[in-house]
Structure 1
């Protein structure tokens, strides 16, 4: 919605008179609400978030000459309790807090957001690295390489970079480029440094692919490769992730395959992942899911995941949920 519609007329009029004639601004509020009933891998029964819930405020201002200013503030929360996600450990604007400029040359943002690699890799997981029950990427990818080992009050953060600079290129013949880097050193005793991340992407016609590389401030490194092929109502995808710890010889190699198939308002999903650690331990995970769209914004879904980890008993999680986007 336009924020100006919520303002008193006199204030909106004065604000419009104070701006240059060429400037046009718009503020929107959006979000995603998700909750479900599920049995987790630890065999406990829960009501709560299976995917993620967030509330975002974003805005753009046309500065003229093809240049725009933009910002985005997004917080994540647990719908069942109303608490912020990771309350007490994660920042309130955990999801994103950025401001920047964009033009024909691309987009430049400053603040906290997904790193370049993480902003793209979810496309190559059948469950978008978004489902705690069924996503193989959630459980197996980037195993030894958090984006920042200390940004959540001393705890690891997988995905988001604080004190960051982010660049997103335009698309040329299907190719695009993303880069991000932290301006401050990670405060990890004996392992402090600055993190950086890059992703090269291709998406044109039925084919999409990416190669991403990330090194956090603690010296952990991650190489990610992904590809997908669209064939009518079906999408097939695969991914490879090689995660290496900076302070030990620990490594993890994950390979996953997956796909989705649309049948009218129903979408079926499936995935399989295999992870091999440097000591020879091998893990397996298989998942199934179904989504039923009640409308363009609301869906019901069911998820099933089964893990067979070496030296551990097999375990299964399953649940049903409802999600609404606005």
Structure 2
């Protein structure tokens, strides 16, 4: 009888141990219709696309005892309109995240691929949309920190540390020791748009060499309705971004604000917030591509608000982008507004309109013409699981 009880106790203990592990599968499906005027000739004004990043994520948490936990996360991205990987396969299968690590009284340490400290914190805290709808603010998007595949604020072979929160303060650090050799880029003159064919900006000569290590630091303070943060980041091309951001929940509305400065380290070598292109140093600003010269500087600020009204949430934002680059002064002003309506805890519909004034002389990532006013509209439905 005693042996039986011991065996039963062992089985129960084993079952309890297994119960300490949690596996989750989650994701988002978002598809909508978008209309953008002033597009490139032979390019459709209307398209079917998405606002949120469509994804499937897998997460594992295991309680190791003594306050220590093991964690692993993997997130793949895809295009719901075609069923293919995000960006037509130009990015990794698990574009979103692939990290494993430990969490305890010392904080959290993760290794792998994921968002940098600054980019993980600032998106939802600085933009009323937090996702890429047509009305999303023109703000300082993340660096593409990996030459082989556009990072969009992520790094490969990364080390991620988040310290324990003390009196509302949370410090996060990210770095990657990986360096990538860069090939020389020859100088080339600008080519004007002609006959419906998109021209190109002038390319500055870049000497062959080795890239820098990537690093990011962010400090966030959260207390009740207030969230404020400041961060600094450097990518492998030695471009840097410094950003201050925050939001305050008034109850009837939540207000957002941010201010950022980007400095170009190496001309024509790195896209910021987009897929890497050997002869393009750019910033992806909600569909707009900006050139950043070596030693050039871009300043950006945004303001916005969200207001809940029953199942609906109204969203409004205004942003300004001023800077200098290879093609001269680059300016961008944008006003957006929209509404999100919750059909359930997991499903919502949304619609947005935006008016954007662009002042440069090329077509943008969404094929709209610069140096003009661009109006956009979207209507979509999203479901999370």
Question: TM-score of the superposition, structure 2-length normalised?
Answer: 0.75
Q: Is the 8 A contact 2:28 2:52 kept in 1?
A: no
**Could you say which structure has the greater relative contact order, defined with CA pairs below 8 angstroms and 6 or more residues apart?**
2
CA RMSD of aligned residues (A): 1.9
SS in structure 2 of the partner of residue 87 of structure 1: helix
In the other structure, the counterpart of 1:146 is: 143
More strand by share: 1
Aligned structure 1 segments of 4 or more residues deviating by more than 4 angstroms = 16-23
Aligned counterpart in structure 2 of residue 216 of structure 1, from 213, 226, 235 = 235
In the other structure, the counterpart of 1:79 is: 80
CA gap 1:250/1:18 in 2 versus in 1, 3 angstroms: farther
Q: Displacement of 1:149 after TM fit?
A: 4.9
Aligned counterpart in structure 2 of residue 268 of structure 1, from 290, 314, 320 = 314
Q: Distance in 2 between matches of 1:18 and 1:171?
A: 33
Q: Displacement of 1:147 after TM fit?
A: 3.9
In the other structure, the counterpart of 2:170 is: 176
Gaps of 5+ in 2: 1-10, 184-208, 267-293, 361-370
In the other structure, the counterpart of 2:364 is: none
In the other structure, the counterpart of 1:28 is: 24
Q: Deviations over 1:198-247 (max 9, x none)?
A: 10000111211000100111111000110211101310111011111102
Q: Distance in 1 between matches of 2:259 and 2:384?
A: 30
Q: May I ask how many residue pairs the two structures share in their alignment?
A: 303
SS in structure 2 of the partner of residue 63 of structure 1: strand
Aligned counterpart in structure 2 of residue 127 of structure 1, from 116, 126, 129 = 129
Residue 52 (str. 1) matches residue 53 (str. 2): yes
Q: Distance in 1 between matches of 2:238 and 2:14?
A: 47
Q: Displacement of 1:158 after TM fit?
A: 2.1
CA gap 1:303/1:186 in 2 versus in 1, 3 angstroms: farther
Q: Distance in 2 between matches of 1:188 and 1:235?
A: 44
CA gap 1:19/1:95 in 2 versus in 1, 3 angstroms: farther
Residue 201 (str. 1) matches residue 201 (str. 2): no
In the other structure, the counterpart of 1:70 is: 71
SS in structure 1 of the partner of residue 85 of structure 2: coil
Gaps of 5+ in 1: 1-15
Q: Distance in 2 between matches of 1:47 and 1:232?
A: 35
Q: Displacement of 1:18 after TM fit?
A: 11
Q: Is the 8 A contact 1:211 1:226 kept in 2?
A: yes
In the other structure, the counterpart of 2:343 is: 294
In the other structure, the counterpart of 2:151 is: 157
Q: Determine which structure has more spread, i.e. the larger CA radius of gyration.
A: 2
Q: Displacement of 1:157 after TM fit?
A: 2.5
Q: Which moved more, 1:164-173 or 1:42-51?
A: 42-51
